[in-house]
Homo-oligomer: A and B are copies of this chain.
Amino acid sequence: MTAARLIELWRGGTRESAHLGHVVISDANGIVEAWGDPGAVIYPRSSCKMIQALPLVESGAAEAAGLGSEQLALACASHDGARIHTDRVVAWLSALGLEEDDLRCGAHMPNDPAERKRLTCTDESPCQIHNNCSGKHAGFLTLKRHMKAGPEYVEIDHPVQRAVRRAFEEMTKETAAGWGIDGCSAPNFACTVEGLSCAMAGFAQPGTGVRGQAQRRLVEAMLTHPELVAGEGRACTELMRAMKGRVAVKTGAEAVFVGIVPERGLGIAVKILDGGTRGSEAAITAIMVHLGLLEEGHPVVQKYLTGPLRNWRGFSTGELRCAEGFPS
């Protein structure tokens, strides 16, 4: 089975570009609907941060450090490096007696326009706190300290990453099909698109034990603080706000997107073959409309899927469309 045509770009009556990929919707019993190849092996990248945060909560490290829902949302976040994000990560590290230097995520210019402007115009370099993964890494550091483990917490055989791998394999119900190094230097484990959607279905229907409690806390944290999970103007934040706390969504690099729908016990995984965000944002939006969780006329649906593409003079020049057969 191969990737399915999911999203198309039309201009002047001609199909100019197209995004192929894989989409799986699962519940506790398995696949509910799928497009493309559910068995395709992918890296979830940042879309699985809520899985990577499970050991932090399950181990008791989060409670011991007094983490609240804001910190847990940041642990699941790919944030914009706005002050609302960086101030909280700085305070979190400080409360642990740690500093920026203890992070292993690397530095990059933040996406937040105000902070980017401040850094640019003062010739200040971005630091590791600005890294979109600094919340996840603060979570790793919290767990590392709780475990009394060594400082190189992103190494594949470090106790933190061994715990992450265990959680990942249990949630996906697969043995990891390999691992790669992520943009933030942490290991990222490979799974099938079906495995990722299965993991999200697990978060959508948490049990009663330690794992179920951890899943519930992490999803609630994401739903309570959509602005901490990404930032103003970003797809994760805007989609979660539009769905009013009913659905958690999370993007990952190379065009992965996941969804967690607690009220229906559904988990969703999207991977666009070409790795482009335009396709993954459009596809997850289409799935939310398909499931009746977003109205087709909502401004967010227009922004990520149905609205006209406009050029520099504001003229409508084209539009994204769902390909025939996707999602219905």
Chain B residues lying within 8 Å of A107, measured Cβ to Cβ, are 312
Among residues of B, the one whose C-beta sits closest to the C-beta of A311 is: B183
Query: Is the CB of A13 closer than 8 A to any CB of chain B?
Result: yes
Is A200 close to B, CB under 8 A? no
Chain A 169-189, CB-CB to B under 8 Å as 1, else 0, gives 000000001111111110010
Of residues 10 through 27 on chain A, the ones whose CB sits less than 8 Å from some CB of chain B are 11-14, 16-20
A32-74 contacts to B (CB < 8 Å): 41-43
| Residue A213 interfacial (CB < 8 Å) | no
User: What mask results when residues 290 to 328 of chain A are scored 1 for a CB within 8 Å of chain B, else 0?
Assistant: 000000000000000000000111110110000000000
Hey, what's the 0/1 contact readout for A94-133 against B, CB within 8 Å counting as 1? 0000000000111110000000010011000000000100
**Residue from B11, B17, B121, B275 within 8 A of A9 (CB atoms):** B275
Residues of B within 8 A of A18 (CB): 273-274
A181-B315 contact given A16-B43, A121-B121, A254-B17, CB 8 Å threshold? yes
> Is A313 touching B106 in the complex (CB atoms < 8 A)?
yes
Min CB gap A163→B, angstroms: 19
Checking B13, B16, B120 against A275 with a beta-carbon cut-off of 8 angstroms, the contacting residue is B16
For chain A residues 185-202, which have a beta carbon within 8 Å of chain B? 185, 188, 190
Q: Which residue of chain B has its CB nearest to the CB of A19?
A: B274
Main secondary structure of the interface of A (DSSP, over half): loop
The interface size bin for chain A is 35 or more
Residues of B within 8 A of A12 (CB): 43, 178-181, 188, 190
Chain B nearest Cβ from A225, distance in angstroms: 24
Q: How many copies of this chain sit in the oligomeric assembly?
A: 2
Check A255 for interface membership: any CB of B closer than 8 A: yes
Least Cβ–Cβ distance between A155 and chain B, in angstroms: 12
Report the Cα distance A183→B312, complex, angstroms.
Answer: 6
Q: Is A231 an interface residue (CB 8 A)?
A: no
Selected from B121, B184, B313, the residue in CB contact (under 8 A) with A311 is: B184
Q: Is the CB of A41 within 8 A of B14?
A: yes
Contact B106 A312 (CB under 8 A): yes
Contacts of A131 in B (CB 8 A): 312
Interface string of A257-300 (1 = CB under 8 A from B): 00000000000000011111011000000000000000000000
Residue pair B315, A185 in contact (C-beta under 8 Å): yes
List residues of chain B with CB within 8 A of the CB of A178: 12-14
Which B residues touch A19, using CB under 8 A? Answer: 274
Residue of B nearest to A277 (CB): B276
Q: Given that A276-B275, A318-B180 are known contacts, is A311 also in contact with B106, CB under 8 Å in the complex?
A: yes
Kindly state the separation between the CA atoms of A14 and B261 in the bound complex, as whole angstroms.
29
Minimum CB–CB distance for A91 against chain B, Å: 23
- The answer to whether B190 and A14 have CB atoms under 8 Å apart is yes
14 extra A-B contacts, CB within 8 A, seeds A108-B312, A185-B311 = A16-B180, A17-B273, A17-B275, A18-B273, A18-B274, A106-B312, A180-B318, A181-B315, A181-B317, A182-B311, A184-B311, A185-B313, A274-B276, A274-B279
9 A-B pairs within 8 Å (CB atoms) are namely A12-B180, A12-B188, A16-B254, A106-B312, A183-B317, A185-B311, A274-B274, A274-B276, A276-B276
